[in-house]
Amino acid sequence: MAAMMRGLSRSLFSSGHPKPYYHLPLIKPSSLLSSRGIASKLFVGGLSYYTNEEALAEAFSHYGQVIEAKIVMNKEYNRSKGFGFVTFASEEEAEKALAEMNGKVLNGRAIFVDNAKPNFGYAPPPPIARGPPESSGKE
């Protein structure tokens, strides 16, 4: 990592003019953890609407050190969407939890567990404009 940063700083200032910050590579801390093997994230689906993050962390903590338990919420209704993510301190702990918890019942619902897929900053495409452009009234 340090070598990468030294090379990056050399390339930034080699021409004598610093490049704008938006040319820097976007590195998320969570992706660094996963790529180094320090942490491993699991997807948990089929959650009961009554399962909270503390209960999710408690259920998975039997298999290793849980760094984070996150339930995805519906912002409009302020309730669970029925899935979440659990981040473990090591890949071995995550693999053990995946094998043991997949298909188990948590708060009355059978859950399914899988390795989380990386999120590379995906954003939905912008809406498609239809019809003629609106006049600004400056004509």
Question: Integer distance in angstroms from the first to the last C-alpha of the chain?
Answer: 57
pLDDT digits (tens, 9 = 90+) for 63-106: 999 999 999 999 999 999 999 999 999 999 999 999 999 999 99
Check pLDDT > 50 for residue 128: yes
Cα separation of 82 and 72, whole Å? Answer: 7
Cα separation of 37 and 31, whole Å? Answer: 10
- Average pLDDT rounded to a whole number, residues 108-132: 80
pLDDT digits (tens, 9 = 90+) for 5-36: 445 444 444 445 554 444 444 444 444 444 44
Q: What are the beta bridge partners of residue 86? A: 42, 69
Query: Taking the mean position of all CA atoms in its chain, how far away is CA 69?
Result: 11
pLDDT band at residue 139 using 50, 70 and 90 as cut-offs: low
The residue whose two tokens read 């021409």 is 15
Q: What pLDDT is attached to residue 137? A: 61
pTM of the model: 0.60
Which residue in 17, 21, 42 sits closest to 111, CA to CA?
Answer: 42
pLDDT digits (tens, 9 = 90+) for 30-71: 444 444 444 699 999 999 999 999 999 999 999 999 999 999
**Phi then psi for 6, rounded to 5 degrees?**
-65, -45
